[in-house]
Structure 1
Amino acid sequence: MCSPGRAPPGPAPAGDLPPEWETDDERMAFLFSAFKQSREVNSTEWDSKMAFWVGLVLARGRRRGAVRTCLRDLQHGFERRGSLPLGLGTVLRELLRYRRGAAGPGGPPAVGAEGREGRGGWL
């Protein structure tokens, strides 16, 4: 949960973001859109979007020394040209589900052994 009186952290440093962040507006529009209700609608697109955000969220956590955050902090940390990513709530739910061992096929891609290392897990 976020502290109500605390300002969210600033955006991620430019060097921590993938190249398409500044160069591919179409791809970023897709990545900033909300996830479909069901992964079965288009599992390839859903998995691609999930892999992108899981990678960034975990990299941000490693950089900060812990992946303890709230949705608002993440959204503001990944703000791009005045837009906030709409699917990060889904990403956090999937990471929590994966951490608890409930994710089956289609669990968060890009979460391998490096995601399980460290103190106290991801979130």
Structure 2
Amino acid sequence: MELIADILLVAGALAAGLYCHVLARRLSRFNDLESGVGGAVAVLSAQVDDLARTLQDAQAAAGAESRSLATLTGRAEAVAKRLELLVAAMHDLPEPPAPPEPPKTAGNGAAPVFRRHPPPGDGGTA
């Protein structure tokens, strides 16, 4: 009976050894850096690093653009205030003189009739 128990024990040990060998091969293929999950993890890790760098660059650019936009907004507000003052000051200006009337023509399509006005400062008295 001991002989049968020893044979079964050796067979079980051989089966366990074979099972461990198969698992070791599967695990080595699983962790292979070129085609297995290990490779996928390595690629994803590199992509995460690239993404983190890109995100930092984008945040820096957004901060710079935000500061530039704030500066431009301040300048625009200052110019708007100046324009408001100029428009308010225009209400205090006198009305411009009316434009001169166009020359009148004779009713038959002849040359326009020009009237001579006295020179300014003359007063129209002779």
Q: What band does the TM-score fall into relative to the shorter chain?
A: under 0.3
Select the structure that is richer in helix: 2
Structure (1 or 2) with the larger CA radius of gyration: 2
What TM-score do you get using the length of structure 2 for normalisation? 0.19
Greater RCO (Cα-Cα under 8 Å, separation 6 or more)? 1
TM-score by length of 1: 0.20
